[in-house]
Amino acid sequence: MVCGVLAVVLFGALAPAVAAAPRASEPVYDYTKAIRETVWVDIGRDGDGDGQSDRVAADIVRPSEPAAAGTKVPVIMDASPYYSCCGRGNESELKTYDSAGKPVKFPLFYDNYFVPRGYAAVLVDLAGTNRSAGCADVGGASDVGSARKVVDWLNGRATGYSAKTGGSAVSAGWSTGNVGMIGKSYDGTIANGVAATGVAGLKTIVPISAISSWYDYYRSDGATFGFDPAGLAQTVEANNSGQNCSAQNQDLATGATANGDYGPLWAARDYVAQARNVHASVLVSHGVNDLNVKTINFGQWWDALAANHVERKIWLAQTGHVDPFDYRRSDWVDLLHRWFDHYLLGVDNGVQNGPMASVERQPDQWADQSAYPAANAIATALRPQAGGKLGTAAASGTASFTDNPNVGEDTWVTNPGSAALTYSTGTLTSDLQVSGTSSLTVTATPSTSSARLSALLVDLGPATIRNFAGSGEGIKTGTTENCWGSSTTGDDACYRITSADPKKVNYTILSRGWADLANYASLSQERVLTPGTAYTMTFRLASTDHVVPKGHALALIIGGTDGSFIRGPARPGRVTLDLAKTSASVPLAGVLPAASTHPSLGGGAFVPSAGRADLH
């Protein structure tokens, strides 16, 4: 039991011969009396070249009662570049301040809910954004160092000040040093990056729709999506006129080469390569239809964490780029409460046990799994065969398509013509689960000196899914609110209620992948292709967990430039596949049919929007 005025019961009392269930932290502190302050933490860099070490603003709200008694509290941190430019959450909340510069509005519900329960909420402006000095570097040393140094300060290893320049030193004597980082998109990405440094004191992270490798946000196995990090840096720096970031932005523009090569800029922003340093537990959430932060980002991160034996759990929704607070609100808040209680307060509530994964099968219908990928999923070689069949038997012969960058994935599914090749398992006699990360190996002969490759895994059959291509990316936002914690004037805990936005479809694209054949030998250096020469390349398809129902079929579609997402080659041409040397490795649980009868798509095809270039 916790001593002093911290009236948060961590363990139930022992009844005769029976232990009562452990209890959660409770809202016993007065949120209206909470301490609100800003500390500027020195990050030891001079990103804006003004000759002074950059300080980042950490806005803090913490309960006053433990502070008065000298009792320390743990920290929930969200480090973001979006607190003044773009907003956080479904309602795009921004930070606000009073006339003296004291923080008033803390976006999202973390402060409202957790501060009364004995936590501090710390919202950090990344370098170069909002009230912080320095420059954003889009996932690099400045971004990650902004948050890591605040973790250090909370543990007495860095210096904080009472002002952006000058001021007096401020300590975090009120902090236990236990920190949990949380955030969606860019914010969750920074949590991944800080965890990959192995910083002491970071006990857990909750990355929501987060990037694990910035290369895989802007590029895909040599292919390019058509947007670059310098533009994002300028967006988040726009409301902070106190620095000159032209040099940093030029470094971003130069480092992100126009081709899809993996170079030093991307290597410095590859957290998967540093996952061996992760000691914090990880609670992942991602939409399997997220066309902004593509799902390969959670899949490769998850696999790397598994190799490092990190304690972890995962939620996979049918949404696009959406926070679970807006698709499964009550359950998510309950899970976060238990998660933070366990890893930051030490409550023995068993949240780390039980099912590892929770997956949305249909809108608002969830299934728990003991593991992700599914425990019985086996990497299976699926081979395209003559006659449009897809199976495990050896194939022979060739097949060709003509690259047409003006069409994209939905045309490929409904009316591919000569632009793509379709291969199908035929009608399934039982459910078939695709769970994990797939890849495609091709031996391809281009007719020109440049070529793109794209591939889709498709569930052919009718279904009701979340409308992830709609404006809400799978959710509808109502007009009524519910409240999650305590409120003050200027910082309420109430948010508009959301619901699923369903849509009937005749097929579902469950995984995508793209590549530049010029990177067949190396992602680090593309090569000019010789027309008429065969090249072998393996590239990844997006991570997922999807059940193809009995009566549907699983299809593999292979083409050139998927115009919905990637840029086409300089000289589009004809590409010929050697079917004997072309196969997809797909993690499957279930039995493939022996025969090949193909279900008809019918009308009402679902046309998603192109991949989004905004990270919020």
pLDDT in tens, 272-315: 999 999 999 999 999 999 999 999 999 999 999 999 999 999 99
- Does the pLDDT value for residue 609 go beyond 70? no
pLDDT digits (tens, 9 = 90+) for 480-517: 999 999 999 999 999 999 999 999 999 999 999 999 99
Q: What separation in angstroms does the CA of 276 have from each of 147, 306, 307?
A: 19, 10, 8
State in Å, rounded, how far the first CA of the chain is from the last one: 41
pLDDT of res. 240: 84
Mean pLDDT of the chain: 93
Query: What is the rounded distance in angstroms from the CA atom of residue 279 to the CA atom of residue 259?
Result: 35
Within 118-163, strands assigned E span 120-125, 160-161
pLDDT of res. 242: 76
Query: What is the rounded distance in angstroms from the CA atom of residue 8 to the CA atom of residue 347?
Result: 10
Within 447-493, strands assigned E span 452-466, 475-483
pLDDT digits (tens, 9 = 90+) for 380-412: 999 999 999 999 999 999 999 999 999 999 999
Handedness of CA 147, 152, 155, 161 (dihedral sign): negative
- Of 514, 513, 423, give the one whose Cα is nearest residue 460: 423
The 3-state DSSP class for residue 543 equals coil
pLDDT digits (tens, 9 = 90+) for 511-563: 999 999 999 999 999 999 999 999 999 999 999 999 999 999 999 999 999 99
Question: Cβ distance 161 to 167 under 8 Å?
Answer: yes
Amino acid of residue 128: G
- Does the pLDDT value for residue 7 go beyond 80? no
- Of 554, 283, 293, give the one whose Cα is nearest residue 431: 554
Burial class of residue 352, CB neighbours in 10 A (0-12, 13-18, 19+): middle
pLDDT of res. 233: 96
Question: Cβ distance 123 to 117 under 8 Å?
Answer: no
Please compute the mean of the pLDDT values over residues 326-355 and round it to a whole number. 97
Query: What is the rounded distance in angstroms from the CA atom of residue 123 to the CA atom of residue 146?
Result: 11
Phi-psi label, residue 130: left if phi above 0, alpha if psi -120 to 50, beta otherwise: left
Q: What separation in angstroms does the CA of 134 have from each of 51, 233, 251, 362, 505?
A: 11, 12, 15, 45, 48
pLDDT of res. 283: 98
- Of 402, 432, 427, 391, give the one whose Cα is nearest residue 579: 391
Give the active site residues: 185, 290, 321
The DSSP bridge pattern shows strands 439-446 and 574-578 to be antiparallel
Query: What is the rounded distance in angstroms from the CA atom of residue 356 to the CA atom of residue 333?
Result: 17
Fold classification of 378-466+504-589 is: Jelly Rolls (2.60.120)
- Of 510, 516, 537, 554, give the one whose Cα is nearest residue 380: 554
Give the residue extent of every domain in the chain: 29-369, 378-466+504-589
The rounded percent of the chain whose pLDDT value lies above 70 is 93
**Homologous superfamily of 29-369:** Alpha/Beta hydrolase fold, catalytic domain (3.40.50.1820)
Buried b (16+ CB within 10 A) or exposed e, 2-24: beeebebbbbeeeeeeeeeebeb
- Of 573, 339, 344, 542, give the one whose Cα is nearest residue 458: 542
Query: What is the rounded distance in angstroms from the CA atom of residue 481 to the CA atom of residue 71?
Result: 35
- More confident: 603 or 118: 118
pLDDT of res. 243: 86
pLDDT bin (cut points 50, 70, 90) of residue 38 is very high
pLDDT bin (cut points 50, 70, 90) of residue 330 is very high
Q: What separation in angstroms does the CA of 390 have from each of 540, 557, 578, 604?
A: 18, 10, 15, 25
